[in-house]
Structure 1
Amino acid sequence: MAFCHPIFASANKPPIMYSPNKSSDSKSRLIIASKQNIHIFNNGNGNGKESIELRHAKILEEVKLLLASKERKNTYEGLSMVDSIQRLGIGYHFEEEIEAILKSKHLMLGHQGNGYEELSEVALQFRILRQEGYFISADIFGKFLDDKGKLKHTLFEDIDGLIALFEASHLSIEGEHSLDEAGEFCRKYLHGWMSTFHDHLLVKVVNQTLQYPIHKSLSRFMPTCLQLENAGWTSSLHELSEIDTQMISYLHLKEISSVSKWWKELGLANDLKFARNEPIKWYMWPMACLPDPRFSEERTELTKPLSLIYIIDDIFDFHGNIEELSLFTDAVKRWDLAAVEQLPDCMKVCFKVLYDITNEFAFKTQVKHGWNPIVTLTKSWLRLFNAFLQEAKWFASGHVPEAEEYLKNGIVSTGVHVILVHAFFFRGQGLTEENVTLMEEFPSIVSTTATILRLCDDLEGDKDVKCDGNDGSYLRCYMKEHPGVSDEQAREHINQRISDAWKQLNRECMTPNSLPSSFTKLCLNAARMVPVMYSYDGNSPSKLEEYVKSLIYRSSSMQKSVRSDSDYSFMK
């Protein structure tokens, strides 16, 4: 079944169901489609590959012209259009146009102040600007608050405004208590409103908003409800998004085929039968975090070190004693094939693959960007091995560390820093001595991203696990350290820690630094991954699994060579 999104909901019309995805920049995007051999198959309506690509280019130009006209007029509709484009996951087509609109809005705020009166308009402006790294003070909401700092009662029936304010509250930073309180009020009020007005046409929009806040979700893989006032450009956006779906679907299938072939030829699944064998699940991380079709090579290359993180984790969890694992870690420190001669075969095989893949990655980076990252890459791997080794020692001794000690190590054992370091080098932007040194020192934006992933995974992944089990988690450590705390209280504490980490990440994204904005967006997408990547109820597939399944089943009759039962074992 196709991956469907509810789109273009309004107060008068129910959402339209359709399937979106994405492509690239007018002519340059068509060149990319050609180079990647993206095949747009005939759907029985007479539209072949060529006509679809030409239609895509034509609509893209139409929307670009419309967006440019909104920038010149500097109207609210321009922001609304930017919001729609970003939520449909096609913002990379319009980076220059969006930047021009937001820069103009930010400058106007500085010189003329806020020109909007409606809560929904002010909140949208706040969210869009902060989302793109422009700092705008939360004081802009002051006129909607009473003398006690609470939302004015006159706004309680403004459902559109409350939705927009709830969304804006997810962009808060430390110390913005009034915005946090307003967001929490909106959440509770909208929940109550849904139970009272369950037949209202906006219920679907409200429910979607509460489940998937825009800032903390990946637009392409989450249902999207857009409320638009019969704007003339909605049909063009609708069609552009649908065509993008087809083009990117087949690009993703091509990449899945490439990853599956690489993994099969690598042979680790046969050599290490105790380890996970989920290449396509691993591919879904870079697929979601690097959505731009221009980054096809980056997605496939990043899947390689990412797969090794899972394999190495399994070796530390299921195979080898502490002495062997210590020697395994020492081999990484020495970066010497001879250092594993006395180790079990599984470690020899794994280290040889790690050694070859990392050196190959460094060579490709040097060819592409003129910088050999081997020293930084090996440092990142050693940091990860040391974290895995620490967890193995805790487990072997039965020691339960204090919560903060566990978290400090657990942030590293996510492997987030390893992948972000690889991505930083392979993208090649901002390659300076200063930034390379910064990446080696585990910058705050990386550690904050890893904190969100670790705490979310521990919180959600442990819902069906008793805290007296053997698997380590922040929840278990915190409850042992605080014996009087209930499970519910511990979870509230973790949720607050996650919220605080998001505030810190928001601040990082709005604080000028030497790292490129593309890296900041990559970190944001990584933080957004957990609710998309995993389904913790044990029954439902994740959003990404649904998407990949839809690709495979839609194309199975046309590209049977892509599919292999062993490659999709994670879906069983």
Structure 2
Amino acid sequence: MNFDYLNMFLFNTLQEVLDQNIEAKIETLKYNVRKMLVTKSEKPLGKIHLIDSICRLRVSYHFEHEIEEVLQHIHNNYVKNGEITFENDIFSVATLFRLLRQHGFHVLPNVFNKFKDKQGNFSERLTRDIEGMLSLYEATHIMVHGEDILEEALAFTTTHLEYIANQLNHPHAIQVKHSLRQALHKNLPRLEARSYISIYEKDPFHNENILAKLDFNMLQRLHQKEFGNVYKWWKELDMTNKLPYARDRMAESCFWALAVYFEPQYSTIRKIMMKIIITMTVVDDTYDAYGTIDELELFTKAIERLDIGLDNLPDYMKFLYRIILDLYEEIEQEMRNNGRVYALNYYVKEWQLKKYIQAYMTEARWLNNNYEPTLEDLQVFAYQKNHLVMCL
């Protein structure tokens, strides 16, 4: 009897049972949270903090429609001409302001004037409200150009939070230091979720129905499986031996994809993004550190034509080109399976042909000719290379 096979079979069977039980529990918790969001209430503003927790724990993708309806209702009834009209504490006002802006609603920062003293400075009384200060601090990071009051609020909250950070007790100390190091609006979703789970579960008023930890662990297993599949693809290509000059950036490339799409419904696009980023890292090294200018000119023309007649290319470039061509065919099949074949021409035109590869070639020509690019040259160059992210 093959005991390794038997052990693997038993492990997989047990994992499937556990996953089914967890999924059933998640569905129950989702139902409870959804019920809290849609329940009619005389005080809909009371749902602000629930929505904030759901969003910060990154489980909001389960409740997008319900959250949108609640915020739309609040915006219709408590925001006039862009100004929040309800009177409340700084914590609630700043949280609502941030949530509305993050979800695309028009709202002005004028509401924060009510928290200033007669001299036009933010009231020192606010410094006694740690959660309020944190909420205002986070709200300032979604300011737009010209919003002086948010600039003032950022300076005010930063100064006071830095001063008291080492004087606070757990868990406020951890939360303040974390926010000062990396503001919510500027953090990566999965990292913020992982950090906030630890903070939220220690809050005595946390909601047991929010499925943060279960959802995080379920997604983590999915992401690990995706990484394993992409890693297997990478190892089978044997790039490390066939293109020894290229960097091995597997972990970073997969992490980039998670930074853009972490939700389970985007598994296919994550896989594609991971492979594209890994492949383009190798292309980058080819243009920057290995290929001669003549080889690079030939390679660029071959990519532009998507021409499989590559007899004039060196062997290492033929190998790299076939990887790109195979990836293109894989993307084509995925697009057909998802009814999005119309996007394929845009992908080829904007990513491989006219923008990204040509940007590498431009850079190689500058280096070969000892050319010092102008500011305008660099702006065009950055625009071309940034199209990779935009197209994805």
State the Cα distance separating 1:399 from its structure 2 match.
4.1
Residue in 2 aligned with 1:376?
A: 346
What per-residue deviation string (whole Å, max 9, x for no partner) do you get for residues 382-408 of structure 1?
A: 311122122223333444434564354
Aligned partners of 1:120 and 1:162 also within 8 Å: yes
Q: 1:97 to 1:330 in 2, by over 3 A?
A: same
In structure 2, C-alpha distance between the alignment counterparts of 1:149 and 1:347, rounded to whole Å: 65
Coordinate RMSD, CA, aligned? 2.8
Larger Rg: 2
**Which residue of structure 1 lines up, in the alignment, with residue 185 of structure 2?**
215
Q: Establish whether residue 62 from structure 1 lines up as the match of residue 32 from structure 2.
A: yes
The sequence identity of aligned pairs, in percent, is 28
TM norm structure 2? 0.86
CA shift in 2, pair 1:38/1:373, >3 Å: farther
Q: What per-residue deviation string (whole Å, max 9, x for no partner) do you get for residues 230-266 of structure 1?
A: 54x61222xx222223322221222122112222233
The 3 A distance-change label for structure 1 pair 213 and 370 is closer
With structure 1 as the length reference, what TM-score do the two structures score?
0.60
Offset of residue 104 of structure 1: 0.9
Q: Is 2:58 aligned against 1:89?
A: yes
List aligned pairs for 1:135-284, cutoff 5 A. 135-146=106-117, 149-195=120-166, 197-199=167-169, 202-222=172-192, 223-224=195-196, 225-226=199-200, 230-231=204-205, 234-237=207-210, 240-284=211-255
1:78 Cα deviation from its structure 2 partner: 0.6
Matching residue of 1:412: 384
Q: 1:149 to 1:176 in 2, by over 3 A?
A: farther
Match of 1:392 among 364, 371, 375: 364
Matched residue SS, 1:234: coil
Matched letter for residue 394 of structure 1: W
Which structure dedicates a bigger proportion of its chain to helix? 2
Partner of 1:545: none
Distance 1:214 1:132, change over 3 A: same
Are residues 1:119 and 2:128 paired? Answer: no
Residue equivalent to 1:19: none
Deviation at 1:202, TM superposition (A): 2.1
SS of the aligned residue for 1:256 comes to helix
Query: Offset at 1:355?
Result: 2.3
| Runs of 4+, deviation exceeding 6 Å | 37-40
Deviation string, structure 1 residues 166-187 (Cα, Å, up to 9, x no partner)? 1001111111122122112211
* 1:30-69 pair list within 5 angstroms: 41=15, 48-69=18-39
Work out which structure has the larger RCO, using CA pairs closer than 8 Å and 6 or more positions apart in sequence.
1
Q: Say if 1:376 and 1:49 are closer, same or farther in 2 by CA, change over 3 A.
A: closer
Change (3 A) 1:227 1:269: closer
In the alignment, structure 1 segments of 5+ residues that lack a partner are 1-36, 424-572
Query: Unpaired runs of 5+ in structure 2?
Result: 1-10
Q: Structure 1 CA distance, aligned partners of 2:366 and 2:13?
A: 51
Whether the 8 Å contact between 1:74 and 1:105 is mirrored in structure 2 is: no
Aligned to 1:341: 311
1:139 and 1:343, CA in 2 relative to 1: closer, same or farther beyond 3 A?
A: same
- Cα displacement string for residues 13-37 of structure 1 (whole angstroms, at most 9, x for unaligned residues): xxxxxxxxxxxxxxxxxxxxxxxx9
CA deviations over 1:527-564 (Å, ceiling 9, x no partner): xxxxxxxxxxxxxxxxxxxxxxxxxxxxxxxxxxxxxx
User: What are the superposed Cα offsets for residues 452-474 of structure 1, whole Å, 9 maximum, x if unpaired?
Assistant: xxxxxxxxxxxxxxxxxxxxxxx
